[in-house]
């Protein structure tokens, strides 16, 4: 049974959910059609770049001998810089509003997770944050069927994380609360963000 829990953890890493979110929004929102380069660029910064932290861990001296903890730290760093550059990119190159909101959500969530884990030493699950965030964005964009499917997937992610002892329930709840707060902030200031 443990191998199944580990498999669930591997196939539900946040970059996978980011890619699925971007593709669904691109296909379903007419405002995004024709913005294929925006899609590719955003996919790179939100999905591909964060994923590179996993194979590159063994080549980075500071992290290669630190096991899962080193992998987690490196993933947070790669993700943060991917989200940061991606956010600048979508605004500089006038990407559709949906991509701006997605990148802002990821960037602010990345900052939130880094602050909690590295500054305040409160262990919040980046994995849970990276799953709940896209589901909330699907709801925000009115994509209810994919959002329902995503919500159902949150349950096995929680169970697998606890069973493999990667995260405790409070850590999962803490990580899940970050995108809720961030999306509320974005919703309040959406008009200002989009018109920039």
Task: With cut-offs at 50, 70 and 90, classify the pLDDT of residue 192.
Answer: low
CA 72/CA 19 separation, integer angstroms: 20
| Of 108, 127, 116, 120, the residue nearest 187 (C-alpha) | 108
User: In the predicted model, is pLDDT for residue 65 greater than 90?
Assistant: no
Residues 47-61 as b or e (16 or more Cβ within 10 Å = b): bebbbebeeebeeee
Q: Which residue has the higher pLDDT, 114 or 83?
A: 83
Q: How does pLDDT run across 156-173, given as a tens digit for each residue?
A: 999 999 999 999 999 999
Q: Which residue has the higher pLDDT, 54 or 135?
A: 135
Q: How does pLDDT run across 174-183, given as a tens digit for each residue?
A: 999 999 999 9
> Angle CA(45)–CA(84)–CA(104) in degrees, nearest 5?
90
Q: pLDDT averaged over the chain?
A: 91
């Amino acid at each position: 049974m443990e191998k199944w829990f580990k498999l669930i953890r591997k196939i539900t890493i946040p970059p996978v959910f980011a890619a699925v979110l971007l593709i669904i929004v691109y296909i379903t929102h007419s405002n995004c059609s024709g913005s294929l380069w925006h899609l590719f660029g955003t996919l790179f910064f939100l999905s591909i770049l964060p994923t590179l932290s996993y194979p590159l861990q063994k080549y980075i001296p500071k992290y290669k001998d630190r096991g899962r903890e080193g992998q987690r730290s490196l993933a947070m760093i790669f993700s943060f810089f991917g989200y940061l550059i991606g956010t600048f990119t979508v605004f500089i190159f006038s990407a559709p509003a949906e991509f701006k909101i997605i990148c802002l959500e990821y960037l602010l969530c990345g900052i939130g997770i880094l602050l909690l884990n590295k500054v305040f030493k409160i262990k919040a699950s980046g994995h849970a944050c990276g799953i709940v965030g896209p589901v909330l964005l699907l709801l925000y964009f009115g994509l209810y069927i994919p959002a329902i499917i995503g919500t159902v997937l949150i349950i096995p992610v929680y169970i697998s994380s606890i069973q493999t002892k990667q995260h405790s329930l409070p850590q999962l709840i803490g990580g899940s609360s970050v995108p809720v707060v961030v999306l509320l902030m974005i919703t309040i200031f959406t008009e200002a963000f989009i018109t920039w």
